[in-house]
Structure 1
Amino acid sequence: MEFKVKLNVVNTSANDDNGCKWTGNLKSSSMYNPLKDWRFMKVKIPQSCGKGNELLVARKVQIDTRQFFKGYTEGRRYCNFWPEMLKLKDWPPSDKFENFLPRHCDEFISALPFPEYTDPRAGILNIAVKLPSNVLKPDLGPKTYVGYGIAEELGRGDSVTKLHCDMSDAVNILTHTADVALSDEQHSAIARLRELHRTQDEKEHLQREKLKCPADQFVHRNNEELVPEITNRNKHPSKIDGKLEISWIGKEGSTFPGFSTKKAEETGGALWDIFRREDVPKLEAYLRKHSKEFRHTYCSPVDQVVHPIHDQTFYLTLEHKRKLKEEFGVEPWTFEQRLGEAVFIPAGCPHQVRNLKSCTKVAVDFVSPENVHECLRLTEEFRQLPVNHKAREDKLEIRKMIIYAVDQAIKDLEALVSTIKPEEYPKEAPTRLCVYR
C-alpha cells in the first residue's frame, strides 16, 4: 500500500562517550530497572503525578509510584485473574522532565534521528523552534508514556492508545520493555471471561435490534457482574503471574552503539496501526456505522460520537480492522515497534497503539515545513468541535509559529546578505526571449 507521506521506523542510539545509556541508569553496566531508577522521583513529583489511567474502565486512579512500577515489571491482575492494565501518559511536562532528569533529557535529545526536524531546542527545520525565548511555547515534549501490556489481545481493557490524530508531527522511541508471562491458570480464566464478554455483546446487540433504543440499563447491570470495582483492588494484592523477562538497552549485539536489540528482536514491544490521510473519510464513516460495537468508560458501549477520531474513544481490534477492509477497502499500515526503534507519525495521520509488553516510550512533537498546511487544516477542524470538547483547545498555535518563523527567516537572510561583498554578488542573468507559436 502506497503512502503519499512516508512513514518511517528507524533504529536510534542514546549513548554518550562515557557509555551512559538513555535507560534510566547512570552506569552502563546496570540494567534498566524502573522501580529502582524512579524511586528517587517519588519525593520530588507532585502527588497529582501519581495518577494512572486504568484501562479496563478508562478512568484515572490514584496509585503509589512504587506499586505502579512493581506492576510494570511483575504484572497486576484482578481477583478473577483478568489482567489489570495501567498507563502513565504525558508525564512529566517538558519543563519538569528537563528539571528532574536533565542528563537523560539531554542524552535523549542528542540521540533523536533527523535532528534538523526533531530537535526541540535547535532543529533548523523545526518551525516550533523559531518562537523567541520571551514567547510562551507549546508543550511539545519530550514526554514519557509508561504502560503495562501483554501480547494477547483481550478485547476489553487492553493497554492501548486509542485512535486519534495529532495536530503536529511526532517521533516516538521505545526505550524499555518488560515481558511478564501469564500462567496457565490465568490463560484459562481469560478465555472463559472473553467468552462471557462475547455472549454479553451478542445479547446487547439483539436487545438493541429488538427495542431500537440504547440498552443502558442492561449494559450497566452486566458490567457490575463482569467488571471488578477499582476501589476494591487493595483486597487483592498484586501477584507475579509468570516468569519475568526483561529486554534492555546495552552495547552487546547493537545495530547502533546505544541500543541492544539482541533480546528484543524476538518480539516487538508495541503494535502500531497508522492510517493514510486520504482514508480518513471512510474511516470516520465506518466508526459512525459501528460505534455501538465499541466500549469506552466503564466498559459501556459508546453512546455518543461527536467526532469519531478526535473523541479518542475507539480502538480497532483485529476483527474491526478486517471488517473495515471488507466494507470500505481501507486498511492501516500495521507493524511492531521494537526496542530502540523510532516511529515517525506525520501530522494528520490517525493512529492507534497497543502494548505487547510493558513499555516505556519517549515522544517529541515537532512541526515540519512540509506539513504546516496540514497543521493549519487540523487547527480549523479542531475549532469546529463543541466548546467543551477536550480536543478543541489550540495548544499548538501554528499561526503564531509561522509568523515568527517567517520573521526569523528574513533576519537570517539579511544577515547572510550583509556578509557578501559587492564584488561577490552574482551577475545578472541574461534575458531570455520567449517565442510563442
Structure 2
Amino acid sequence: MANIIVQQDAVCRSFNWSRTKPAARNAIAKISGVCIGCLQSKPECRFYKEAAKRRITEQRTFLVSPAPEYRVLQVMLQEHSDYVAPSFESAPPAMTRDIVQECLTASAFILVPKLQRHLALRTLYTSKVIRVPRLDHLRDICDYCRMSLFCCTRVCKSCGYEICDQCMQEHKLETTSCSAPQLAGGHDMALVEPFQPGELEEALMSLQDTPRPERPAWISDGKLIEVQLTNGGGLPRYSDLYRALAAGVPVVVHGINAGDYNLTPEYFIRRFGSQKVTVINIKTTDRYDLDLEAFMNKMCLREDPDDPVKLKDWPPTDHFATRFPDLFKVFEDCLVAPWLTARKGILNLEASMPAGSCPPDTGPKGYLAQSATGSITTFLHTDMTDAINIMFYAGVQADGSEGGAEWTMVAREDKARTEELLREMKKWNDCDGHPVHAQQLEITPNDVVFLRQHGIRVWTFVQRVGDAVFIAAGVLHQVRNLSACIKIAVDFVAPCNVEHSQKIGEELREHRVITQDSAEEDVLQLTTMCWWFYKRSKTYDLAGLHHDQRSNPWVCDFSAAPAYMPFPVLAHAPDPDHDGADTDGMHLSGEPWADTAPLSASSSLPTPVIPVSLQSDYPSSIVPRKRSRAHDEEFVSKTQSRRSFGNKRKALDSQEDPKKAFQCPIGRSGGRAACTKAGTAYNRQALLDHLEKVHKPR
C-alpha cells in the first residue's frame, strides 16, 4: 500500500482530524504539537496561513506509512516556496559604479561569514524548510533573542519555534520546550533554506572577489569638526563628512535655515495641535497623554522643576512621511549630505530595501522637550546606526541667554574603557542587562573631568538653532536641554560603519537575552539589508553604471549642502574670481538671505561641485566662476523667482483659514514668471500644490 499524505488544512486549534484514520491520527498527534503562535493566542499560526482568496501560502504536511503500523515518516513545512522577484527603486543619476563598490564592500563584510556558515550547516541537516523571502511587509525574528533572521536559521517542525544561529551555539534551545507529546520537551529541528538553487554559491563567489577600495589616510586631531554652512568658503564636502563618520568623530554643521515659519511651536500647534500625544516626565519617566497644543504650551515654559516633559520618537509608530508629508518635505530639504542621510540616498544602505520588504523605521522622528534643569533629557546610550540631529527651535534659558542642548560624546574606541571607569565610580546602576543600553546612566561635568584625566576622549558642545549634529554608529552620547528645544533626527546606514553597527547589534542582543524584554527586537535587519543591496547590485540598473572616481565618498569633493540651497558653491574654497558682492540682486557667495528657504525646496540630490583641481576637465559653464551678463540674468531670474516662491508659500502657510479663496500671486506679478492661470480661485492647499508644480524653479 502507498504511503498516506495528511495536510494540515486549518490553524492548529481548528485542525479537523476527522477525515484521517484513527490509527494515523494517533501517530500524527504524538509528534505534532500546537505551534507557539497558537499556544500564545497570536493571530498567526506557524503551520497554516492563507492569503487573499483563501490561497494557502504555508501548510504543514505529514507523510504516514500505510497500515498496520501508521508511522510518521516525514514532516514537511511548505513555506514561502514561490519565488518573488524583488523590485528596487531605479538608480538616481548621481549613482556610479564607485558608490556601488563602496556599498558592496560593506555588504560583503557582513554577508560572507554568514553565507559560509549557512553552507556548512547544510551538511549537518538533512531536513530543510524552503523559505524564499516573501516580500509581504513582514520580517522573521528569533523567538529567543528577538534578532532578525536571514540565514542559518532553524525551525522546529513540531511547534514552529524559530531560533537564530547564535542562540543555537549558546545552547539556548535547551532551555525551551516543545509542545509535541512524543518529543518530551525536545525539538525536531530543520534548517531554513532561504536561497534558490545555486544562489548561495554564486553570491559567495561574487562577494569574496569584491575588491576592497583603498581608503586614504585621514589626519585628524580628534577634535570636534564644525562647519559654517552659511559661509560659501566652508561648505562641507562629502569626503570630510564620510571620513569623520568612519573615524567616529562628531560633526556640527551650523547655519541650516528652514524658514521663519517652519518647525516652530506655533507651526506644530497650528498643524497638529489637536492630536493626542504621550509625554514623558524627564525625571521620573512617568507617561501620560496630552493634546499636542497643551504639551507645546507647557514645553515653552522656561522651567518646570517638578514635571519637565519631553515628547520622544514622535510619531511613535507611523512613518513620518506618511503621517506628516509636508513636515517631512521641509525636513528632507534641510538634510546635510542627502546622499547619506536621505531615505533614498545613494550612500544609505537602507535605500536598497525592495518593495514589499520590511524596512526599519529609521525616522525621521521628532524630539520635543522642555529644559532639563537638574536632570538629563536623553541618558547615555549608543545606536546601531549613524544619525543626523537638527535643531529647529530653542527657547530662552532661565537667565535670558540663548537656548540650546548640551551634548556629551565619548570616542568610540574608548567605549569599553569608559564602561570600566563608570563601574569603578559606582555609576553602574543596579539593573538587569547593560546600563548603557538600558539608558540609565548620566555623565556629569565632574565625570567628564575624571574620564579625561584617564585618557578618555570626551567631546562636549552646545547645539543651537540651525545646527545639525552627525553621530556615528557606536558612539556613546547623551543630551541635556538647556531650554525648550525642537529637534528632528533621522538614522541612516553608512557603508563605512557597518562593522560598528554589527557590533552594537550584538551587544543589544545580549541585553535582550538578559532582560528577556519581548517588547524590544532587532528592527534594523543589517544582514538582510546587505543581502538586498547585493541582489540590487546584480540588476541591469546598477551593473551598467559608469565609473567616476570623483564620486568615491572617501575622496569626493562634491558639496554636501542641503537641497534647499539654490546654487552650487565650491565645497572647500570660495570662487577666487568672485568677491561675494551682489550681481543684479543675486548673492553668489557669503551669507544667504534669511528668508530664502521655501517651505519645501527641491528634493533632488545636490548639484555636484567641481573641485578646483579638476575644473580644467569640465566645460567652463559648469564651474561656478564669473559668468557672462546673459548667464547672470538667467540665474538672477531663477533665484528671484525661487525667493518669491518661498516668501509667498510661507505667507500662505501662516493663513489660518484653509478654505479661504486665493489667486496665484505670481500670476498677478506679470513679467517672466507670469502665470497662465491668472485669476483662477484656489483653496489654500490647491494653491500650494499649484505653486509647487508650476512655479517652483527647477
Q: Do they superpose with TM above 0.5?
A: yes
1:383 aligns with 2:518: no
1:74 partner SS? coil
Note if contact 2:261-2:267 (Cα within 8 Å) is conserved in structure 1: no
For residue 238 of structure 1, what is the aligned residue in structure 2? none
Note if contact 2:473-2:501 (Cα within 8 Å) is conserved in structure 1: yes
For residue 103 of structure 1, what is the aligned residue in structure 2? 326
What is the rounded CA distance, in whole Å, between the counterparts of 1:390 and 1:174 in structure 2?
Answer: 33
Note if contact 1:12-1:113 (Cα within 8 Å) is conserved in structure 2: no
The worse-fitting range, judged by mean Cα deviation, of 381-390 and 281-290 is 381-390
Q: 1:337 aligns with which of 463, 466, 470?
A: 463
Note if contact 2:302-2:396 (Cα within 8 Å) is conserved in structure 1: no
AA aligned to 1:108 is F
Identical-pair percentage: 33
2:354 partner SS? coil
Q: What's the TM-score, normalizing by structure 1?
A: 0.63
For residue 543 of structure 2, what is the aligned residue in structure 1? 414
Q: 2:379 aligns with which of 162, 177, 182?
A: 162
1:395 aligns with 2:538: no
How big is each residue's C-alpha offset from its partner over 1:86-143, in whole Å with a ceiling of 9 and x where there is no partner? 11000014745323431221121122000000011x2000001110121111101111
Question: 1:15-414, aligned counterparts within 5 Å?
Answer: 15=258, 23-24=262-263, 32=264, 34=265, 37-43=268-274, 45=275, 47=276, 50-75=277-302, 77=304, 82=305, 84-93=307-316, 95-120=318-343, 122-149=344-371, 154=374, 158-181=375-398, 267=402, 269-291=404-426, 302-304=429-431, 306-326=433-453, 328-387=454-513, 388-389=516-517, 393-411=521-539, 412-414=541-543
Cα displacement (A) at 1:402: 0.4
Structure-2 change in CA distance of 1:98 and 1:386 (3 Å): closer
Structure-2 change in CA distance of 1:307 and 1:107 (3 Å): same
2:506 partner SS? helix
Cα displacement (A) at 1:390: 7.7
AA aligned to 1:351 is H
AA aligned to 2:363 is G
AA aligned to 2:252 is V
How big is each residue's C-alpha offset from its partner over 1:189-234, in whole Å with a ceiling of 9 and x where there is no partner? xxxxxxxxxxxxxxxxxxxxxxxxxxxxxxxxxxxxxxxxxxxxxx
Note if contact 1:90-1:144 (Cα within 8 Å) is conserved in structure 2: yes
AA aligned to 2:439 is Q
What is the rounded CA distance, in whole Å, between the counterparts of 1:353 and 1:371 in structure 2?
Answer: 22
For residue 254 of structure 2, what is the aligned residue in structure 1? 11
Gaps of 5+ in 2: 1-220, 224-246, 547-698
How big is each residue's C-alpha offset from its partner over 1:366-413, in whole Å with a ceiling of 9 and x where there is no partner? 001101111112222222224324896211111111011122122244
Q: Say how many residue pairs are matched.
A: 300
AA aligned to 1:323 is F
AA aligned to 1:286 is L
AA aligned to 2:480 is R
What is the rounded CA distance, in whole Å, between the counterparts of 1:378 and 1:89 in structure 2?
Answer: 22
Structure-2 change in CA distance of 1:402 and 1:36 (3 Å): closer
What is the rounded CA distance, in whole Å, between the counterparts of 1:393 and 1:317 in structure 2?
Answer: 30
For residue 221 of structure 1, what is the aligned residue in structure 2? none
Structure-2 change in CA distance of 1:171 and 1:23 (3 Å): same
| RMSD of equivalent CA atoms | 2.5
Structure-2 change in CA distance of 1:324 and 1:180 (3 Å): closer
Cα displacement (A) at 1:6: 2.9
Note if contact 1:86-1:159 (Cα within 8 Å) is conserved in structure 2: no
Cα displacement (A) at 1:5: 2.7
What is the rounded CA distance, in whole Å, between the counterparts of 2:470 and 2:283 in structure 1?
Answer: 28
Q: Larger RCO: Structure 1 or Structure 2 (Cα < 8 Å, ≥ 6 residues apart)?
A: 1
**Larger fraction in helix:** 1
1:129 partner SS? helix
Cα displacement (A) at 1:12: 4.9
What is the rounded CA distance, in whole Å, between the counterparts of 2:279 and 2:480 in structure 1?
Answer: 17
Q: What's the TM-score, normalizing by structure 2?
A: 0.40
Note if contact 1:160-1:353 (Cα within 8 Å) is conserved in structure 2: yes
Gaps of 5+ in 1: 25-31, 183-244, 246-265, 295-301, 418-437
What is the rounded CA distance, in whole Å, between the counterparts of 2:460 and 2:314 in structure 1?
Answer: 26
Structure-2 change in CA distance of 1:117 and 1:38 (3 Å): same
Note if contact 1:14-1:22 (Cα within 8 Å) is conserved in structure 2: no
AA aligned to 1:415 is G
1:416 partner SS? coil
AA aligned to 1:349 is V
How big is each residue's C-alpha offset from its partner over 1:286-318, in whole Å with a ceiling of 9 and x where there is no partner? 222334x57xxxxxxx33252131111011111
AA aligned to 2:284 is V
What is the rounded CA distance, in whole Å, between the counterparts of 1:162 and 1:309 in structure 2?
Answer: 8
Note if contact 1:163-1:351 (Cα within 8 Å) is conserved in structure 2: yes
